[in-house]
Amino acid sequence: MLFKFIKRTSLLFSISFFIGIKPFNKVIAEKYEILIKGSNIDFVLRLLKKADKRNAPKIVINEDGSKSITYKKNNFQKALSQKELLDLIKNPKNYIHEKKFVIETLNFLNDLGVSLVITNFEEEKGSAYWSPKNKLIKIDKRAINAGSLTFARILNHE
């Protein structure tokens, strides 16, 4: 019974970490780290899928009735032309290869005993770092919000 309570509490903290809900007045979820292992890999993939959808270009109708395209450009991406944006709206990317890479890499690193942690970088610069002495890779939670392509590139770099 106690184990189930701890497991549910951990899950709530994990979810609140990524969506910004503060489950208790005195506890700030952003201070916690999430170890990526086993079933957490599926959780990370779901978060990446949501980020991909959120970051994809969209046509919005302005107050004056005109249309414009909005999208979230990341640091690894050049500015896209209107034609390229319209093509992405008509044919959205599914990032199948990046997701497969993420799954295989996370499982491989777990098998090697390397710990992967999603955390909030406050003082550190960059988006991830590798500590060979501790067999630890820390990845900033903003890398998840950047989507599958960026997350896969960061993971590949580390």
Q: Report, as an integer, the average pLDDT of 36-48.
A: 86
What average pLDDT does range 117-132 have in this prediction? 82
Q: Average the pLDDT over 130-134 and give the result.
A: 90
Overall pTM > 0.75: no
Cβ contact 53:72 at 8 Å? no
27: three-class secondary structure by DSSP: strand
pLDDT digits (tens, 9 = 90+) for 51-107: 999 888 888 888 998 888 888 776 656 788 888 888 888 888 889 999 999 999 999
Distance CA 133, CA 79 (A): 39
Task: Dump strand ranges (E) for the chain.
Answer: 34-35, 58-61, 67-70, 115-119, 128-131, 136-140
Q: Poorest-confidence range of 15-29, 30-44, 100-114, 117-131?
A: 15-29
Per-residue exposure over 106-144, b if at least 16 CB sit within 10 Å of its own CB, e if not: beebbeeebbbebbebeeeeebbeeeeeeeebbbbbebb
Give the range among 13-17, 18-22, 25-29 with minimum mean pLDDT: 25-29
